[in-house]
Copies of this chain bind each other. A is one copy, B any other.
Amino acid sequence: MKNIRIALAQINPTVGDLSGNSKKIISYIKKARKIKADIIAFPELAVTGYPPEDLLLKPHFVQDNIEALHRIKSATENIVSVIGFVDSDDGIYNAAAVISNGKLIDIYHKKHLPNYGVFDEYRYFRAGNKYPIYDLSGIKIGVTICEDIWHEKSPAIVQALNGASIIINLNASPYHIGKALLREDIVSKLASKCEASVMYVNMVGGQDELVFDGGSFISDEDGNIVARGEQFRERLIVADIKVKGCNKKLTAGNRRTLKSIVLKGESVKKIKIGPGPKQGPKPLNRKRSFHALSVQGEIYGALVLGTKDYVHKNGFKGVVVGMSGGIDSALVTTIAVDALGKDNVHGIFMPSVYTSKESYEDVNGHVKKLGIKIMTIPIDTLFNNYLKTLSKFFKGKKADITEENLQARIRGNLLMAFSNKFGCLVLTTGNKSEMSVGYATLYGDMAGGFAVIKDVPKMMVFEICEWRNRKEGRALIPERILWKEPTAELKKDQLDTDSLPPYSLLDPILKAYVEDDRSFDEIANMGCDMTSAKRVISMIDHSEYKRRQAPPGIKITARAFGRDRRFPITNKYKSY
């Protein structure tokens, strides 16, 4: 058995920031060398950030990323560095450079390209078909990238059959609920089947709709998770691993299993790299780490990081939020304060004749607890002015959704005026339940740059607020906001339940239809009444045009709106 010290650089690159990302990569290589790591691994496409999307179609972008990689080379003295970048050959590849002592030893090309959900890798990349094994003084190492390790026919299998006792896996794996445990489960099973330690290094940070949650980890060859990086933060995770040396032999059973998974066209090349493991200090003693976060805590962490990175990476310092006294805007404001600091969050309260006394009290109570400033701008004069302007055209017509939308759009216009005048980003406050059924006004409450809780269903909004209050040890969000009946306050005595089924009924239907692609029959069999189910499905289908114009927001479920769910607007399919 040999001892080897591994470092996983869980870093937060920015898409397109080739020089900033390179600097970060070099600084982590230096840190890892200081603590005498033998190998350091970086996330998938660490040089470019992930996903670079159609930047990849620009030949000069790919060229600039290759030049950035070559500038990093010289920083790799005495440490093997495995770095995700875009390789260019007879096409472009999602690739990992294996660099040692200033020399580019080899380049691995990702074999399994995801092209589902938020991923479009076939749009850009060619698939690799080589499985090199790197020999570091007798320790055999295989490199894989993200999807490669999820796929039934993982290159790791070929690598293990050819003696690899360490599999490095570079990732840009976006967060959704339950993903962290799923990853560990998949990897741990593969590790024990391959009798190899797996180094799972993930990216961290927000990129438009996605949050990469980090949570990098190391599985030993028995499938035990022996080290784990915190989620939602940059971290250097270091561990000492004992590995079988050059004479690693798989047990007969595993060998048989792996051999039965035929990989056609496998081509294994052994490449020596060095220097080998150093006579370092005595092995690091690491305690077994556990998942620190509850489900709600994890979601909250994703929302805070996603908001912070969207705002900062796009060059904004502060944000404006329209606060209504309702729970959605209360949650968004709280997240914004946690992400950006209270001085960078500006609340705007825009009451109308339909705004209740409770809303006044709750908004003011909440901002006091958050320590942020609030501006109050009544909209009645403007609203009446619009009504007067339109009266001669609308003569004889009853009041309807038009008048409600007018109010929402006056508020949108005012928020955008603050955004324009003070250079703040407007955060919108709609939740996933509203987004699903279109219970929101385009250019009204949907106006803004970033939709923080767009993928959080209403029932989960309640849960997360409760969790945040528990964490605070007091009602940071006033109790009444959590318990009062949801209302848009756009007409007299309005309640959400005038237009929608109760959220406790609505949310399961939405999940079944939007996330799980259930048919009407299946949904009707869930026990909800047929009329509600039909109405809800029809509302979802008919709101696609609104969602197409919605700002991006943070994906936290297995299927978010946006890149993750691509629906035609023009669509006459009826599932009921």
Known A207-B568, A570-B313; judge A416-B420 contact (CB<8 A). no
Residues in B with CB closer than 8 Å to A421 are 394, 397, 400, 402
Residues in B with CB closer than 8 Å to A442 are 416, 447
- Is A405 interfacial (CB-CB < 8 Å)? yes
Known A385-B385, A548-B551, A572-B16; judge A566-B53 contact (CB<8 A). yes
- Is A390 interfacial (CB-CB < 8 Å)? yes
- Is A375 interfacial (CB-CB < 8 Å)? yes
Please report the C-alpha to C-alpha distance between residue A574 and residue B417 in the assembled complex, in whole angstroms. Answer: 29
Which segment, of A57-65, A186-194, A223-231, A489-497, faces chain B? Answer: A57-65
- Is A545 interfacial (CB-CB < 8 Å)? yes
Residues in B with CB closer than 8 Å to A314 are 545, 569-570
Residue from the set A17, A53, A116, A549 with the largest chain B CB neighbour count within 10 Å: A549
* A393 engages B418 (CB within 8 Å): yes
* A449 engages B570 (CB within 8 Å): no
Residue from the set A20, A61, A566 with the largest chain B CB neighbour count within 10 Å: A566
Please report the C-alpha to C-alpha distance between residue A309 and residue B569 in the assembled complex, in whole angstroms. Answer: 12
- Is A203 interfacial (CB-CB < 8 Å)? no
* B570 engages A517 (CB within 8 Å): no
Residues in B with CB closer than 8 Å to A309 are 570
* A569 engages B549 (CB within 8 Å): no
- Is A443 interfacial (CB-CB < 8 Å)? yes
Please report the C-alpha to C-alpha distance between residue A565 and residue B120 in the assembled complex, in whole angstroms. Answer: 12
* A208 engages B568 (CB within 8 Å): yes
Interface size on A, residues (CB 8 A): 81
Which segment, of A93-101, A132-140, A406-414, faces chain B? Answer: A406-414
Closest to A551 in B: B549
- Is A293 interfacial (CB-CB < 8 Å)? no
A window 380-424: CB within 8 A of B: 381-382, 385-386, 389-390, 393-394, 397, 400-402, 405-406, 409-410, 412-414, 416-418, 420-421
Residues in B with CB closer than 8 Å to A413 are 386, 406, 409-410, 413, 443
* A406 engages B412 (CB within 8 Å): no
* B18 engages A573 (CB within 8 Å): yes
* B412 engages A390 (CB within 8 Å): no
* A405 engages B385 (CB within 8 Å): no
- Is A15 interfacial (CB-CB < 8 Å)? yes
Residues in B with CB closer than 8 Å to A417 are 386, 390, 402, 405-406
* A381 engages B385 (CB within 8 Å): yes
- Is A289 interfacial (CB-CB < 8 Å)? no
Please report the C-alpha to C-alpha distance between residue A119 and residue B353 in the assembled complex, in whole angstroms. Answer: 49
A window 497-534: CB within 8 A of B: 517, 519-521
Residues in B with CB closer than 8 Å to A393 are 375, 377, 418
Please report the C-alpha to C-alpha distance between residue A447 and residue B412 in the assembled complex, in whole angstroms. Answer: 12
- Is A108 interfacial (CB-CB < 8 Å)? no
User: Shortest CB–CB separation between residue A403 and chain B, in angstroms?
Assistant: 8
Residues in B with CB closer than 8 Å to A390 are 377, 414, 417
- Is A552 interfacial (CB-CB < 8 Å)? yes
Residues in B with CB closer than 8 Å to A285 are none
- Is A279 interfacial (CB-CB < 8 Å)? no
Residues in B with CB closer than 8 Å to A573 are 15-18, 52, 55, 61, 64
Please report the C-alpha to C-alpha distance between residue A84 and residue B509 in the assembled complex, in whole angstroms. Answer: 33
Q: What per-residue 1/0 map shows which CB atoms of A556-576 lie under 8 Å from chain B? A: 000000010111111111110
* A568 engages B402 (CB within 8 Å): no
Closest to A513 in B: B58
Residues in B with CB closer than 8 Å to A290 are none
* B405 engages A15 (CB within 8 Å): no
Please report the C-alpha to C-alpha distance between residue A122 and residue B567 in the assembled complex, in whole angstroms. Answer: 16
Please report the C-alpha to C-alpha distance between residue A4 and residue B185 in the assembled complex, in whole angstroms. Answer: 61
Please report the C-alpha to C-alpha distance between residue A54 and residue B118 in the assembled complex, in whole angstroms. Answer: 12
Q: What per-residue 1/0 map shows which CB atoms of A112-156 lie under 8 Å from chain B? A: 000110001011000000000000000000000000000000000
Residues in B with CB closer than 8 Å to A401 are 420
Residues in B with CB closer than 8 Å to A571 are 15-16, 55
* A60 engages B123 (CB within 8 Å): no
Q: What per-residue 1/0 map shows which CB atoms of A229-252 lie under 8 Å from chain B? A: 000000000000000000000000
- Is A310 interfacial (CB-CB < 8 Å)? yes
Please report the C-alpha to C-alpha distance between residue A566 and residue B123 in the assembled complex, in whole angstroms. Answer: 10
- Is A51 interfacial (CB-CB < 8 Å)? yes
* B420 engages A566 (CB within 8 Å): no
- Is A197 interfacial (CB-CB < 8 Å)? no
Please report the C-alpha to C-alpha distance between residue A417 and residue B409 in the assembled complex, in whole angstroms. Answer: 10
User: Shortest CB–CB separation between residue A322 and chain B, in angstroms?
Assistant: 14
Closest to A399 in B: B421
User: Shortest CB–CB separation between residue A192 and chain B, in angstroms?
Assistant: 29
A-B contacts, 7 of them at CB < 8 A, read A16-B572, A53-B567, A54-B565, A55-B568, A58-B517, A394-B421, A397-B421
**Nearest 7 pairs of A and B residues by beta carbon:** A16-B573, A60-B519, A17-B572, A402-B420, A443-B443, A122-B122, A16-B571
Since A16-B568, A54-B566 are in contact, a sample of 7 more A-B pairs with Cβ atoms closer than 8 Å, ordered by chain A residue number, is: A15-B572, A53-B566, A54-B567, A120-B123, A207-B570, A402-B420, A405-B420
